[in-house]
Structure 1
Amino acid sequence: MSISFFWSRAFLTNRFMLWLFFWCNLVGTIYGYMWYGEQMEYTIANYAIWQVIFVPDSPTASLFFTIAILFLLYPPKSQALKGFSLLMESLAVVTSVKYGIWAVSIIFAGAAQGDHLVWQDWMLVASHLTMAIEALLFVRFFRFGAIMVIPAAAWTFLNDIVDYTYGVYPWLPDELRDDILNVQNFTLGLTAFSVLLAWLVLRMTKRKTI
């Protein structure tokens, strides 16, 4: 058996694997929202309540991917649900790549400036790298086209703008608190990179524009 079988359509999209991806991402999403629980409570208490939506970046990306996998398991029948599924797919790819890379980069940037990494940090590195990798693996099997990258880009850039305009970005290691401008610029650049990568992958796989 060739090693390429393990990232083939036959392997990744059989129902056992799809259910495995679904439950792993659902559990990760729930854990992620719990991880952000303290910051979400702080945001509700000290900021406009609508801003809390933009706090748990990675869990929301994982939620998009979980929903996208569910639509692979149960393809939508109505036009409204089909449109919603395409939006979830595009959001899943752009945000999973963006926040997967972002979290790992921030962890190691903090470590480079003296932050001591503990086992939770390594767990976050592994889980966030997995987010980015699985999004790139599954983009081949999703049905969204290049046009749907636009709302995904709009949402992700809006998230960045709200985060760094109102100060509701994910809490950073203490070592990076004097580097907020650099983190902001990196975050915006990473959003642009993730959007471009999604578009390029779609072009490479010759998907039809919808």
Structure 2
Amino acid sequence: MLNWFIYLLKTPFMLWSVLIINILGTVYGYIWYGYQLKETPAIFLIFVPDSPTASLFFVFVLIGFIMKKNFKLFEALAIVTLVKYGIWAVVMNILTLLETGYLPIEGYMLIFSHGAMAVQGVLYSPYYRFTIWHLVIAGVWTLHNDVIDYVFKMMPWYGSLIKYMPQIGYFTFWLSIFSIAIAYYFSVRKDRQKLSLN
């Protein structure tokens, strides 16, 4: 059953459907960050909208799949950041609910959509072809982003959670390590399952 579903993921209908969903989600994500981006110094702009940039990486991966190609660096960047920021947003929204006792409907939508982000990044891993060096670059990008967020204080605005920035920064660092490890396990190790796009 699982193998049948994995093969279904590469069908044109599924690839185009997931591509359109990710394009819409990416656009919405950049709009969501609009207020923060207006107050962000230009030098940090590329590092602030974490989740939409992760889904943008995946958009390029899906375009490659539709063309029967592997854009390897985008694949590495996509799986690491989709897993990381997918899980991160789910945790932050749950923490917001626990902290304030309330979560707007948008918060529940973010839990669902970001959880799906993390899952899709892993589901497509049998079709990735990136190497350890692509993963090293993705890892450097991801950990550097943590420095920008928590040393230069560019982390996403989450209202009442700002007072927990040191603890969230520590959690995020280890979430980055976990996401890099997930990418290695599903996409780089020699005995992993590989499937052809053709």
- What TM-score, normalized by structure 1, do the two folds share? 0.87
The CA distance in 2 between the partners of 1:101 and 1:6, in whole Å, is: 26
Matches within 5 A, 1:41-56: 41-43=38-40, 47=41, 49-56=42-49
Query: 1:139 aligns to what?
Result: 125
Alignment counterpart, residue 25 of structure 1, candidates 22, 27, 31? 22
Q: Which amino acid aligns with 2:6?
A: S
Q: Which amino acid aligns with 1:69?
A: L
The CA distance in 1 between the partners of 2:120 and 2:68, in whole Å, is: 19
CA 1:35–1:93 in 2, change beyond 3 Å: closer, same or farther? same
Alignment counterpart, residue 58 of structure 2, candidates 41, 65, 81? 65
1:7 and 2:11 are equivalent in the alignment? no
Q: Secondary structure at the match of 2:127?
A: coil
Query: 2:105 aligns to what?
Result: 119
The CA distance in 2 between the partners of 1:92 and 1:128, in whole Å, is: 13
Q: Which amino acid aligns with 2:51?
A: S
Q: Secondary structure at the match of 2:39?
A: helix
Contact 2:54 2:82 (C-alpha < 8 Å) held by counterparts: yes
After superposition, the C-alpha distances for 1:123-171 in whole angstroms (9 at most, x for unaligned) are 0001000000000000111111233110000000011101112111100
CA offset at residue 206 of structure 1?
A: 5.4
Contact 1:115 1:173 (C-alpha < 8 Å) held by counterparts: no
Query: 1:79 aligns to what?
Result: none
Moved more, 197-206 or 120-129: 197-206
The CA distance in 2 between the partners of 1:72 and 1:6, in whole Å, is: 18
- What TM-score, normalized by structure 2, do the two folds share? 0.92
The CA distance in 1 between the partners of 2:60 and 2:88, in whole Å, is: 22
Gaps of 5+ in 2: none
Q: Which amino acid aligns with 1:190?
A: L
Query: 2:89 aligns to what?
Result: 103
The CA distance in 2 between the partners of 1:115 and 1:99, in whole Å, is: 23
1:183 and 2:168 are equivalent in the alignment? yes
Q: Which amino acid aligns with 1:153?
A: G
CA offset at residue 5 of structure 1?
A: 5.6
Query: 2:151 aligns to what?
Result: 165
CA offset at residue 201 of structure 1?
A: 1.5
The CA distance in 1 between the partners of 2:20 and 2:45, in whole Å, is: 25
Q: Which amino acid aligns with 1:74?
A: M
* Percentage of matched positions with identical amino acids: 36
The CA distance in 2 between the partners of 1:54 and 1:156, in whole Å, is: 10
Q: Secondary structure at the match of 1:178?
A: helix
Gaps of 5+ in 1: 77-81
Contact 1:153 1:195 (C-alpha < 8 Å) held by counterparts: yes
